[in-house]
């Protein structure tokens, strides 16, 4: 009788473990999440992204930035895509995003095409952001990686959190390190993800103080930037983040060695501090940068995702169902 009781207990434990194992995939991310749900999802996203980047190379950097700014505000949950409602003010109106964050029409187009390909809305806007970021980097000649999938979309947004948690271009190294640490990212992640500034453009107001008032800057570089960024006015004038803004290379780190970082926060990574050695390493090893960038993008994409029954799959990425 005792042995029968023990056998029954063991059987029960195995059943509990089996149920737990069966339930766990819905609570974690997986690169294969859509393989059976909608195998056409990822190819569809890639097709729309490639077309958008072909039409405007700058869009690649914009889509990458959307994912970054989404993940740093309460996790990768597509909250950045929500328009304002009576319940909350949109993150689009936060200082780091207002009149600068872009690419929403491309995300709308992806959502439309993906839902059509899948026959129903099964792909979250949060996953669309993550995959579009990867496909944008690849379209600009950069590395690829297996995007973890299965995120769900938030039902709210926070302009206040966006103002507080998205790193500012004026930040010093200690503030940058603390900001990234708050999101579970280390100094290596900081340096490698900042390498995303190897593509794209920036508005004059984000670097005006640096080119006119800072001393750890190459004088020739400062003069070049002043040509299109006057001391007064011209705040929305664009400048490339580096000389090859449409190609995902390691030029960004070489520029930092020459004191040609466009943002204060860029040059802070190579200014006699604890990240100097990482900048030097990536400046001479583009392959290592690509490998580490891919790994850090996966890590960033895992910041507080909504999974299981939390959140929703939005019908329209701009509003809650």
Q: What is the pLDDT of residue 28?
A: 83
pLDDT, position 4: 43
Asked if residue 70 belongs to a known ligand binding site, the reply is yes
279-291 pLDDT, tens digit per residue, is 999 999 999 999 9
How many C-beta atoms lie closer than 10 Å to residue 226's C-beta? Answer: 15
**pLDDT given at position 49:** 98
The pLDDT averaged over each successive group of 10 residues in the chain (321 residues) is 44 40 54 96 98 97 98 98 96 96 98 98 98 98 98 97 97 98 98 98 97 98 98 97 95 98 98 98 98 98 96 98 96
The DSSP code sequence of 44-99 is HHHHHHHHHHHH-THHHHHHHHHHHHHHTTTSSSSGGGPPP-SS---GGGSTTTTT
Rounded to the nearest 10°, the torsion over CA 92, 315, 115, 140 is 10
**What pTM does this model have?**
0.90
Sign of CA dihedral 189, 191, 194, 198: negative
Task: Respond yes or no: is residue 69 known to be catalytic.
Answer: yes
Confirm whether residue 249 is marked as ligand binding: yes
> Tokens 């999802």 correspond to what residue?
41
Q: How many CA atoms lie within 13 A of 210 on its CB side?
A: 27
Residue 23 has a pLDDT of: 32
The CB density around residue 227, as the number of other CB atoms within 10 Å, is 9
**Using CA atoms, how far apart are residues 190 and 238, in angstroms rounded to an integer?**
24
pLDDT value, residue 19: 36
Q: Cα-flanking dihedrals φ and ψ of residue 157, to 5°?
A: -145, 165
73 is in an annotated binding site: yes
Residues ≥6 apart with Cβ < 8 Å to 63: 49, 52, 103, 106, 107, 129, 132, 133, 136
Which tokens belong to 76?
Answer: 């990768």
Helix, strand, coil abundance in the chain, percent, nearest 5: 55, 5, 40
Please report the pLDDT score of residue 13 as a whole number.
Answer: 41
Note the maximum CA span of the chain.
90
Tell me whether residue 244 is annotated as binding. yes
Q: What are phi and psi of 265, to 5 degrees?
A: -65, -30
Catalytic residue, chosen from 67, 69, 183, 264, is: 69
């Amino acid at each position: 009788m005792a042995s029968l009781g023990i056998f029954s207990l063991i059987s029960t434990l195995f059943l509990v473990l089996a149920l737990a194992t069966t339930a766990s995939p819905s609570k974690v991310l997986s690169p294969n999440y859509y393989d059976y749900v909608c195998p056409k999802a990822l190819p569809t996203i890639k097709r729309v992204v490639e077309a958008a980047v072909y039409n405007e190379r700058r869009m690649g950097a914009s889509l990458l930035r959307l994912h970054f700014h989404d993940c740093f505000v309460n996790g990768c949950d597509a909250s950045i895509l929500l328009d304002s409602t009576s319940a909350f003010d949109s993150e689009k109106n936060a200082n780091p995003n207002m009149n600068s964050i872009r690419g929403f029409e491309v995300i709308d187009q992806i959502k439309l095409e993906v839902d059509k390909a899948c026959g129903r809305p099964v792909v979250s806007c949060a996953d669309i952001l993550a995959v579009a970021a990867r496909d944008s980097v690849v379209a600009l000649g950069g590395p690829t990686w297996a995007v973890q999938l299965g995120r769900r979309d938030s039902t709210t947004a926070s302009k206040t959190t966006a103002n507080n948690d998205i790193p500012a271009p004026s930040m010093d190294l200690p503030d940058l390190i603390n900001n990234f640490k708050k999101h579970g990212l280390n100094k290596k992640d900081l340096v490698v993800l900042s390498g995303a500034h190897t593509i794209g453009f920036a508005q004059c107001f984000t670097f005006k103080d640096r080119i006119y008032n800072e001393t750890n800057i190459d004088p020739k570089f400062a003069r070049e930037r002043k040509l299109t960024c006057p001391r007064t006015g011209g705040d929305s004038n664009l400048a490339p983040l580096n000389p090859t803004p449409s190609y995902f290379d390691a030029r960004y780190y070489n520029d930092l060695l020459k004191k040609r970082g466009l943002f204060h926060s860029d040059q802070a990574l190579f200014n006699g501090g604890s990240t100097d050695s990482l900048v030097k390493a990536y400046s001479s090893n583009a392959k290592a940068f690509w490998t580490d960038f891919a790994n850090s993008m996966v890590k960033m994409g895992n910041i507080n995702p909504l999974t299981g029954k939390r959140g929703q799959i939005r019908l329209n990425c701009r509003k809650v169902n």
